[in-house]
Amino acid sequence: MVYSQDVIEDLRQGNDIVEVISGYIALRQSGANHMGLCPFHRERSPSFSVSAHRQLFHCFGCGEGGNVFTFIMKMENFSFVDAIKFLAERINYRLPQTASAPSVSSEEKERMHQAYAFAARFYYENLQAPPGQPAMSYLEHRRLIPAIQRKFGLGWAGSGSDLRDHLSSKGFADGFLVKAGLAMEGSRGHYDRFRGRLMFPIFDVQGKIVGFGGRIIGDGEPKYLNSPETPIFDKSRTLYNLNYARQTKKQTLILVEGYMDVIALYQAGIKNVVAALGTAFTANHARILKRYCNDAVLLFDTDEAGTKAALRAIPHLYSAGLGIKVCRIESAKDPDDYIQEFGVQALAEQLSNSYDFVDFQVQTANKGIDMSQTSQRITFTKASAKIISALNSPVEREAYARDMAHKYRMDEGALKEEIAVILGGDGSEDYIEAPRNSPIAVYDNKQGGQAFSEAVSHILSTMASDKDFCKQITKYLTGEEFADSILSEAFSKILLAQDKGKEVAPADIVTTFEYAEDQQKISRAFVKPPEYEDTKDKYIALTHQVTLVKSAHLARLMADATQNGDVEALARLSIERKNLETHKISFLAV
């Protein structure tokens, strides 16, 4: 994590969850908690509960929950680090220098932000003045209305050292402007980096300007020029328009190639759109996208370069866990041209009919293939097998092997065998079906699954409040039995805190997890603490719950052993289960 747990705890304590959430929705006190209409789904009766005591929120309607960081991440569509910065700014808390860039002070970064803000204003005013007419004519040709020009802060960089002179008058030294990427040094002194270009300010996710992209107007190379890497600008971690796209809160973001494509789509009402900054789409870009959406649609140019760019982006998006579609607009060079010729409704229809990402890759491999020719059919089948074998799940590989073989007239058996060869198998193990009557089925049905989840929640909640129970639980559970890495990690963190003699606040445990979905999962365990009549009743209930969790874990292991044909493991697990039935779990009040 970028910031220490002490810093995070300071911010959590300084940002009372009731006060923060009250800034977004109306809350009224109801007993020990506050209630309101959930901001994450539509409802008529309040089901959104906020606990001042536990510093957690939970919606009994849609299931959203967490602490103050989770709420800000969900409400503002922020990453965890962005939420930290937001809450720090809210209470004027000075964040410590992070280890990632020890040589650059926070004061210097803030100074760079100021320089870029001055530069953006300067460029914008230039565009509105007579010297900006060449760029204004270009924007009028592209039919960008003044309101959109203003929204994106478009500007004009003239020639010479106009910006450098302007910023010098504001107190910025030449050396600093070079370091910030706004000026360059030549044999005749310092001059502006951007000259004769239409300027596109680049914003970070919080809306601060961190760089510029400039398009040449008239003759000159390169056509597009971006700011260099600086202490506040990392191209591999920045996506153009993410600051606005995240505000749509849509779970699908559209990825295009350039600034003008983004702005054209935004003007047409398609606002959930982003672009990489003149660089190849990277794994970092994909991981950042995953923070804000579940699915991505690739809307790249239809030329060879656009196709290659889409093919390179797909593995990064897939590795990040995003659903992927590919939209192809064959009758226009790029999305902007398509909108100009056919209109936004036609583009919306194209987007809704986007290709599945595997189908797109296989279709691309099929281009120019004559399936009547044996050698070409073999080449295509091998290429398709390579594409499908890159999928993580045997279920996915099975489904795509069947569907692609049918669609492109490949031999399904041959395709599956080739996939197995690539994966290092013999052509059969990837297609074994799991036994339908395994012991774990008892816990997979709705009633059993709910009982298991409630047992895990009660165990974690009691661990946080009862150090005596914590001392005894390790005799029976390790956390692995929860069948969930996040819940298992919470188990370990509570044990560690109790072992150190620390008071375990549920909101603190939630905050040790970076991603909102993980925080939400942990908060569910604490949202409604179990109530018992007395200590005896408490430990009887906990005995039952720990036994249920332990039994379910053994059932899962036995199901795996059965499927894998591991007779030795099955015999050992059977003995463990027998021992669990014979030697009852019990807890004593200390």
Q: CA nearest 22: which of 91, 93, 66, 75? A: 75
| Structure token pair of residue 532 | 């018992």
Q: How far is CA 185 from CA 65, 157, 175, 180, 296, in A?
A: 53, 17, 9, 13, 41
- Going by C-beta distance under 8 Å and a sequence separation of 6 or more, which residues neighbour residue 102? none
Whether 425 shows a pLDDT value over 80: the answer reads no
So what's the pLDDT on residue 443? 33
| Structure token pair of residue 139 | 């924007």
Whether 356 shows a pLDDT value over 70: the answer reads yes
Q: List the beta bridge partners of residue 49.
A: 35, 58
Phi–psi pair at 4, nearest 5 degrees: -70, 160
So what's the pLDDT on residue 512? 83
Kindly provide the b/e burial profile for residues 319-353, where b requires at least 16 CB atoms within 10 angstroms of the residue's own CB: ebebebbbbbbeebebbbbbbeeeeeeebeebbee
Whether 338 shows a pLDDT value over 80: the answer reads yes
Burial of 127 per CB tally in 10 Å (0-12, 13-18, 19+): buried
- Asked if 61 contacts 47 with a C-beta cutoff of 8 angstroms, the reply is yes
Flag the least confident range among 211-215, 476-480, 580-584.
580-584
- Asked if 183 contacts 193 with a C-beta cutoff of 8 angstroms, the reply is yes
So what's the pLDDT on residue 511? 81
Q: What is the pLDDT of residues 46-100, one digit of tens each?
A: 999 999 888 999 998 888 889 999 999 888 878 888 889 899 988 888 888 654 4
Say how many CA atoms lie within 13 Å of 355 toward its Cβ: 20
Longest dimension (CA), the chain: 90
Distance CA 414, CA 433 (A): 20
Q: How far is CA 581 from CA 441, 540, 545, 577, in A?
A: 19, 16, 14, 6
So what's the pLDDT on residue 587? 66
Say how many CA atoms lie within 13 Å of 396 toward its Cβ: 14
Which domains, and CATH codes, for the chain?
Answer: 5-90 (3.90.580.10), 106-233 (3.90.980.10), 250-353 (3.40.1360.10), 362-431 (no CATH), 441-582 (1.10.860.10)
Q: CA nearest 77: which of 281, 319, 250? A: 250
| Structure token pair of residue 355 | 């290709």
Q: What is the pLDDT of residues 450-494, one digit of tens each?
A: 788 888 888 888 888 888 888 888 888 888 888 888 888 888 888
Residue scoring higher pLDDT (432 or 585): 585
Q: CA nearest 351: which of 303, 307, 298? A: 298
Whether 116 shows a pLDDT value over 90: the answer reads yes
Q: What is the pLDDT of residues 314-334, one digit of tens each?
A: 999 998 889 999 999 888 888
The radius of gyration of the chain from alpha carbons, rounded to an integer in Å, stands at 29
